Amino acid sequence: MNPNNNKWSLIQEIVSQSVKGRDLTRAKLIRANLSHANLRGADLSLANLIRADLSHAKLIRADLSLANLIRANLSHAKLIRANLSHADLRGTNLSGADLSRTNLRGANLSGAKLIRADLIDVNLNGADLSGANLSHADLIGVNLNDADLSGSKVKNSFWSNSGISDLLRQDLLDRGAIFENSPLQEGDRSAVLISL
């Protein structure tokens, strides 16, 4: 049987019905269109999802650990409490995605777009966010131990004061980040605060 036929059959099955809790470990879904798919609780660990379209997908509590999501589209996806530890998310679009309470420990998010993403209480311990765009993202309660934020865009991103060193806090402020209970700097950002 042609392996491509298996791939398209699997994609059709995923799109046409819920695969809640399904084991899709090591699935090869390169460039697959899985937008709006219900993958709640699915095991996609070690899956190859390069350039896959997962926009608006439901990936709540899904396991995407060690998955390859290079340049995938996860815009507006629901990834609440998902496991993306050590996943490769280089250049991935996560704009508007809900990643609250997600595990991104050791993930590679270099060059990723996280514009207006919800990153509340996310574990970014050891994550690579170099060159990522975090503009207008909500990063309250994130764990940034050993995370690399070099060259990342943080203008109008919203942060809490806890767990962030004074040096990192000042660096983020200098780049336009907003912290809880801090006076506004470099112009009025009240419209950003109201929209949160």
Q: pLDDT tens, 59-89?
A: 999 999 999 999 999 999 999 999 999 999 9
Strands 178-179 and 158-159: parallel
Report the run of H or E that residue 133 belongs to, with start and end: none
Q: For 149-182, what is each residue's pLDDT tens digit?
A: 999 999 999 999 777 888 999 999 999 999 987 6
Residue with tokens 């950003």: 192
Q: Which of 178-184's residues contact partners 24+ apart within 8 Å by CB, and which partners? A: 180/140
**Domains of the chain, residue spans:** 1-196
| Average confidence (pLDDT) over 105-127 | 98
Contact indicator for 68, 86 with CB cutoff of 8 Å? no
Q: Kindly state the tokens that stand for 30.
A: 């390169």
CATH class of 1-196: mainly beta
Q: The whole model's pTM is what?
A: 0.86
Beta bridge partners of 78: 58, 98
